[in-house]
Amino acid sequence: MPDRAYRNDLILLYAANRVSDIANVPAFRQLCSEFAQNPFFTGDRDQIELAKARVERTLDNPDMPLTQQQSVRNAIKLLVDNRRDKKRDLFHELIVAGYRKHWNAQQQQYFDAAWKMIQFDYDFFLSFTSRYPDPDVGGDNPINIAYKYFIKQVLGPDAFKGDDLKNTNLLARAVHKVLLDPPNRGFYFPRQQYDNNDTRLKLEKACDSSMLFVQIVQSIMFDPPRDRKNYCFFEWERVMARFPEVERDNRILYVLAGTNYDGLREIPLPDIYADWHSHITRKDVPYLPEAEFWDASTLKSIKKTILESLVAKIKNAWLELSIGAPN
């Protein structure tokens, strides 16, 4: 493993000095001399210098002095904007070493909490079911037929050539693809029918490392499966326990498929699902109109609903994280 003994010193020196002044700092010049023969030093130094220049433009622009609150907001926004970039952690190191100490205790606490969220593996967790009534009947999963032309529009004309369409929710796959608006990363797990401890652990870990929870709601979700866990309910319970109550409306999102709002309200359900059902039906949940037959306006409506009701809210959640920094 290459020697990076100098890296922490470089971080501290760049954090404490402006890029325009660093070449005149004795400790910096000494460090450069000491590691002049190290084959990695110059590349690491240049990388850190570029990152510090970006941090300065964001937090330390003499032409536009910032309040400490604005500094915290800008720091969080920089990290959010680069949450899927390899430079993210370097930005964070420089901010912590050079700027965090100037913020008050509340601002430091808020920044540290935001940083934990920025490190989440996923921007969203997509919850859905592949179940449907009368599974012993042959043919494709009915949800795939109901949204046939939207699925083809998003996934391509070969979307229906898979081997196991009966147990595959292609609508969920298509929604997932639309939600992957860069730099979004989503958790999509199509094989929830495998009811075992590994599956539960995988779902728990992903729920706990997702900024938002998105659930595609179908009536069949409220019909308890006979032979295994209802994973849609399991996932919902997990995020309800995890998200603070004041954040649930913004971080738990629903979209209806295969049934409209009135149909969902009227379905019979076991008592165990009452809170789950109530949490959905008390909200103004958007509905995806079915697209079994080609209709341009319907396809446009579905795409618009996903972009405005889901993608925009994922983006807004990150925006609110940065602007929420306290005075």
State the Cα–Cα distance between residues 206 and 1, nearest whole angstrom.
Answer: 32
Q: Can you give the CATH number for the domain in which 236 is found?
A: 3.40.50
- Same domain, residue pair 264 and 145: yes
Cβ proximity of 82 and 88 under 8 Å? yes
pLDDT over 70 (residue 191)? no
**Would residue 194 be called left, alpha or beta, if left means φ above 0 and alpha means ψ between -120 and 50 degrees?**
beta
Q: Give the confidence band of 34 by pLDDT, cuts at 50, 70, 90.
A: very high
In tens, the pLDDT along 284-304 reads 999 999 999 999 999 999 999
Residue 57 lies in a domain: yes
Pair 101, 206 in one domain = no
Same domain, 176 and 32: no
Nearest to 252 by CA among 188, 207, 218: 207
Last residue of a domain, one of 118, 140, 163: 118
The torsion region of residue 127 among left (phi > 0), alpha (psi -120 to 50) and beta comes to: beta
Are the CB atoms for 284 and 261 separated by under 8 Å? no
pLDDT at 137: 60
Query: What rounded mean pLDDT belongs to the chain?
Result: 93
Query: pTM above the 0.85 mark?
Result: yes
Judgement on whether residues 111 and 220 belong to the same structural domain of the protein: no
First to last CA, the chain: 44
- Tens of pLDDT along 70-121? 999 999 999 999 999 999 999 999 999 999 999 999 999 999 999 999 999 9
Q: How confident is the model at residue 176 (pLDDT cuts 50, 70, 90)?
A: very high
pLDDT reading at 195 higher than 80? no
How many structural domains are present in the chain? 2
Indicate whether 227 and 114 sit together in one domain.
Answer: no
| Rounded average pLDDT over 199-221 | 96
| pLDDT, tens only, 196-208 | 788 899 999 999 9
Paired tokens of 116: 């934990």
Confidence of residue 194 (pLDDT cuts 50, 70, 90): low
Task: Look up the domain containing 28 and give its range.
Answer: 7-118
Last residue of a domain, one of 90, 118, 146: 118
Q: Hey, CA dihedral for 274, 198, 210, 185, is it positive or negative?
A: negative
